[in-house]
Structure 1
Amino acid sequence: MRFFLGAHQPQWLGRVDVPLFVSYRRLVARRTLPRASAPWALDSGGFTELSMHGTWRTDVRTYLAAVRRFRDEIGRMEWAAPMDWMCEPWITGLTGLSVAEHQRRTIENFLVIREAAPDLPIIPVLQGWELDDYLACADAYERSGIDLAAERVVGLGSVCRRQATGQATVIVTTLAERGLNLHGFGFKTLGLRSCGAALASADSLAWSYDARRKPPLPGHSHKNCANCLPYALKWRARTLNTLPSWHQPPLGDNAPYHAA
């Protein structure tokens, strides 16, 4: 499993030697962008977009232009998420739409993006809530002419908040048995331990929430380490070192990064 450390500080892209996961929303307003020191992937920011507005206000043309800029100016982009529609009940409650409609819009957006920008590494994303939803979404992709098993990465959305239950493990392992190279969005330590072996990759920003509830590292003057690179790297190394032997070999607790 390849692990992407969630990062809400874009300058980290040029400072660390570990894979990062960065949101479109954190990058889009920047006039200058760092050059990446390591591979990274782009989150579309869809959860925030739908949570704030109940719909996507960013249009496809704007999003694709930004993704192309990030790819060219930052470099080393492995892939980018589409403008997908999450299916958590509190999100469908905001949009007033069904899970099936969120899935339809997710697939439609991917098809439009792939046709408009085949040069960009946009990945398909499976959305749903129950296992049958995800299976229906996978079948809908197939009917649309997308062979998910042939895709380099297939995102798995709307799972991260159910990792304390066995439901997420069943969803991940069932889809992995179809031969899909799954990326788990927002997987915490518990989820990585239970089904990480069935994932091709995963990302997590859980270190920031962890740091917000704790005092800062010794010698750090800020209130907490929720935006602290040394804390994030220590959390990453500690988390990966607690996982079984199938995980990506981490850098140590003193993982190198380049000072600003």
Structure 2
Amino acid sequence: MRFFLGTHQPHWLGTANVPLFVSYRRLATRRTLPRAIAPWALDSGGFTELSMHGKWRTTASTYLAAVRRFRDEIGRMAWAAPMDWMCEPWITGLTGLSVSEHQRRTIDNFLHLRSAAPDLPIIPVLQGWELDDYLACVDAYERAGVDLAAEPVVGLGSVCRRQATGEAAAIVTTLAAQGLRLHGFGFKTLGLRSCGHSLASADSLAWSYDARRKPPLPGHPHKNCANCQPYALNWRTRTLNSLPPWHQPPLGGDTPEGDAA
């Protein structure tokens, strides 16, 4: 499993030699961009967009132009998420749309982005709430001519806030058994331990929430380490070393992993 460390500090792309996960919303307003020293993936920021506005206000053309700029100027982009529609009940409550409509819009956006910019590494994302929703989403991609089993990465949305539950584990393992190389969005330690063996990759920003509730590291002048790279890298090492042996050999200290994890 490749692990992407989530960060809301875009300049880390040029300083942290580990795979990173960065939101479009954090990069879109920057006039200058760092050059990446390790692979990274782009989150569309869809959860925030839908939470704030109940719809996507960013246009597909604006998003594609930004993804191309990030790929070219930052470099080392592994993939980018589409402008997907999450299916948590509180999100569908905001939009007033059904789970099936959110799935349709997610698939339509992926097809549009890939058709308009086939050179960009846009990945398909599965959305749903119940297991049957996700299976229906797989079928809908197939009807649209997308062979998810042939995709290098398939995002798995709307699972992170219940990732430690048996329901979430069943969703992950059932989809993985169909030959899908899943990326788990926002997986925390418990979720990684329970079903990380069925994921091709995952990302997490949980270190920042963890740091916000604790005093800063010794010698650090800030109020807490919620934006602190040393804290994040230490958390990453501890988290990956806590996983079962299916993951990888233990990591040593803060040693950068580059492409390894």
Q: 1:15 to 1:72 in 2, by over 3 A?
A: same
Question: How much does 1:163 deviate?
Answer: 1.7
- Cα distance change, pair 53–248 in 1 and its aligned pair in 2 (3 A): farther
Q: What is the rounded CA distance, in whole Å, between the counterparts of 2:130 and 2:248 in structure 1? A: 29
Amino acid in structure 2 at the alignment position of 1:192: L
Cα–Cα, structure 1 residues 41 and 249, in superposed 2: closer, same or farther, change >3 Å? farther
Distance 2:57 2:90 in 1: 19
Any runs of at least 4 consecutive aligned residues in structure 1 with deviations exceeding 2 A, and if so which? Answer: 248-257
Distance 2:79 2:163 in 1: 24
Q: What residue number does 2:33 align with?
A: 33
2:146 aligns to what?
146
Q: Which residue number corresponds to residue 14 of structure 2? A: 14
Superposed, which structure 2 residues align to 1:1-260 within 5 Å?
A: 1-249=1-249, 251-256=251-256
Distance in 2, matches of 1:249 and 1:74, equals 30
CA drift of 1:254 comes to 2.3
1:249, CA displacement in angstroms?
4.5
Deviation, 1:17, is: 1.1
Q: Is the 8 A contact 2:186 2:205 kept in 1?
A: yes
* Separation in structure 1 between the aligned mates of residue 110 and residue 198 of structure 2, nearest angstrom: 24
Task: Give the Cα–Cα distance (whole angstroms) in 1 for the partners of residues 232 and 59 of structure 2.
Answer: 33
Distance 1:248-1:36 versus aligned 2 partners, 3 A rule: farther
Distance 1:204 1:237 in 2: 13
C-alpha displacement at 1:16, in angstroms? Answer: 1.2
> Which secondary structure state, in structure 1, belongs to the residue aligned with residue 85 of structure 2?
coil
Aligned residue type for 2:113: I
Q: Aligned-pair RMSD on alpha carbons?
A: 1.1
- Is this contact kept in 2: 1:50–1:56, CA < 8 A? yes
Aligned residues: 257
Distance (Å, rounded) in 2 between the aligned partners of 1:245 and 1:155: 24
**C-alpha contact 2:240 2:250 (8 A) present in aligned 1:** yes
The Cα of 1:250 is off from its aligned counterpart by 6.1
1:252 CA drift (Å) = 2.6
1:234 is paired with a residue whose SS is: helix
SS in 1 for 2:37: coil
Q: CA deviation at 1:251?
A: 4.2
TM-score w.r.t. structure 2 length?
Answer: 0.97
Q: TM-score if structure 1 supplies the norm length?
A: 0.97
Tell me, what secondary structure is at the counterpart of 2:3?
strand
**Structure 2, unaligned runs of 5 or more:** none
1:253 shift after superposition: 2.4
- 1: distance between equivalents of 2:250 and 2:207? 15
**1:39 to 1:248, Cα distance in 2 relative to 1, 3 A:** farther
Q: SS where residue 243 of structure 1 aligns? A: coil
In 1, Cα distance between equivalents of 2:250 and 2:119: 31
Alignment check: 8 A CA contact 2:240 2:251 kept? no
Tell me, in whole angstroms, the C-alpha distance in 1 between the residues paired with 2:180 and 2:63: 26
Q: Is the 8 A contact 2:164 2:194 kept in 1?
A: no
How big is each residue's C-alpha offset from its partner over 1:15-60, in whole Å with a ceiling of 9 and x where there is no partner? 0111000000000000000000000000000000000000000000
Quote the Cα distance in structure 2 between the aligned partners of 1:249 and 1:79. Answer: 25
Counterpart AA for 2:38: A
Secondary structure of the structure 1 residue equivalent to 2:78: strand
Match of 1:97, as an amino acid? L
Percent identity between the two aligned chains:
84
Q: Distance in 1 between matches of 2:20 and 2:247?
A: 16
Q: Deviations over 1:163-189 (max 9, x none)?
A: 231111000000000000000000000
Post-superposition Cα deviations, 1:61-99, rounded to whole Å, max 9, x if no partner, equal 000000000000000000000000000000000000000
